Structure 1
């Protein structure tokens, strides 16, 4: 459910459950957003391309999650990443899970996390208005010869992917679903080149989809006691060995998944 490049897009198609279609107006307590098209759809909701009703040039991704009575916590709560410099605001007491929200700061210019613009809720769903990003690394890879990146591009991209994971770990979270589809390049001003090697352009890369991310620290800032057995979380192709064994995951397992991601970007039929 990442707000990446368009997938199964149909501007006249309406979501039967949510009633959202091209031209729909989504209103928060601050602004109104006009839906232009659907970017992607998942089991719990969908992602739409929208623009600010007062300034059509300002486009965003609107991520929607259906309200389900059986779910105590919204997956979107894991999408809100909030830090200023090196401090992190922990809102577990209010929502019983961590809410992270990226806000404007000097660090934000170098951040691999998409900006949260707005949020709200309706009768049938919760929503987040987020920075719009471009195609995912998975989509970009398919456009290349043999469907892999060059060594320079692949290494440069994977370094940014690892930097994003490092930031997440520093704030006490693990992602648990690292893969090329959960990273995307920026659009517009956010698509700036951050590295230039031998005419190879490496664009700013953003980490996406914190739906199954997990906080690994308790309220005292200590590592939580590992659970004896856990359900499989993630994507089979990129999951760490511990995940396949139904063991508790930690930062090392994200790093293992990152290594599989690296191989996927560089190896034919990886």
Structure 2
């Protein structure tokens, strides 16, 4: 890997116009992800939460089932972060397969890894709130250590529900009411009436 070179904020802002496969200092632009939801700067609210959760997960030695966060910066016009390059998500793997199906045995092995990834998120006091196949991604085919590992990602809607204080967990007080968070297709049917811990368990949140 090339030695990283510090660059100015102006250079980074100019990099927004760089195309895939072009070089920027010692970095190569491999892929431009979809722009996150807008705030005062591009991706302001969602990416800050994403960074906070990834930092906690990485600090908690959760390195194999979540992306590693290598760099995160805030600029006047945008936020950005550099994370582990990963492969296809579970939804794409199914739809792109020759038969459009994956065996029950394979799904079982994948599900165990998915549940473990969710467990790691819960262990730092967060709930994901948007569990669905596109948010579980296999390691990149060029990465022999991660290629068979499922990674959970996209923490832009996560919520901090508890904190660990010494030797016990202190649960955050529930709000009287809140708007729906998540993807309708993958949520518990009971969420339309009320959202509580039982419904979160059913939907896998």
TM-score band, normalised by shorter chain: 0.7 to 0.9
Does 2:146 match 1:191?
A: yes
Write the deviation string for residues 111-132 of structure 1: whole angstroms up to 9, x where unpaired.
3111011111222111110001
In the alignment, the residues of structure 1 paired with residue 77 and residue 83 of structure 2 have an alpha-carbon distance, to the nearest angstrom, of: 19
Partner of 1:156: 109
Please say if residues 231 and 246 of structure 1, whose CA atoms lie closer than 8 Å, have aligned partners that are also in contact.
Answer: no
* Residues 75/82 of structure 1: CA separation in 2 closer, same or farther (3 Å cut): closer
State how far apart, in whole Å, the 2-side matches of 1:133 and 1:253 are.
30
Corresponding position of 1:9: none
Closer/same/farther in 2, CA of residues 164 and 36 from structure 1, 3 Å limit: closer
1:190 & 1:104 partners in 2: Cα distance? 19
Structure 1 residue runs of 4+, over 6 Å off? none
Q: Distance in 2 between matches of 1:191 and 1:142?
A: 22
Equivalent residue in structure 1 for 2:176, among 221, 228, 243: 228
Aligned mate of 2:87, from 134, 149, 152? 134
Which residue does the alignment assign to 1:88?
Answer: none
Q: How has the CA–CA distance of structure 1 residues 212 and 104 changed in structure 2, closer, same or farther, with 3 Å as cutoff?
A: closer
Q: 1:190 to 1:243 in 2, by over 3 A?
A: farther
Aligned pairs for 1:1-270 (under 5 A) are 18-22=16-20, 23=22, 25=24, 32-38=26-32, 40-44=33-37, 68=40, 74-80=45-51, 100-103=56-59, 105=61, 108=63, 111-144=64-97, 146-187=99-140, 188-192=143-147, 203-217=148-162, 221-245=169-193, 247=195, 249-250=196-197, 252-258=198-204
Structure 2: distance between partners of 1:145 and 1:244: 36
Give the alignment's TM-score, normalised by structure 1.
Answer: 0.58
Query: Structure 2: any 5+ residue segments left out of the alignment?
Result: 1-15
1:157: Cα distance to partner? 0.4
Cα pair 2:124 2:163 within 8 Å, conserved: no
Call closer, same or farther: CA 1:166–1:219 in 2, change over 3 Å: closer
Deviation, 1:154, is 0.5
Conserved? CA contact 1:67–1:124, under 8 Å = no
> How many Å separate the matches in 2 of 1:82 and 1:209?
10
Say if 1:155 and 1:239 are closer, same or farther in 2 by CA, change over 3 A: same
**Count of residue pairs brought into register by the alignment:** 184
Gaps of 5+ in 1: 1-17, 45-65, 84-98, 193-202, 260-270
Cα distance in structure 1, aligned partners of 2:135 and 2:111: 12
CA RMSD of aligned residues (A): 3.1
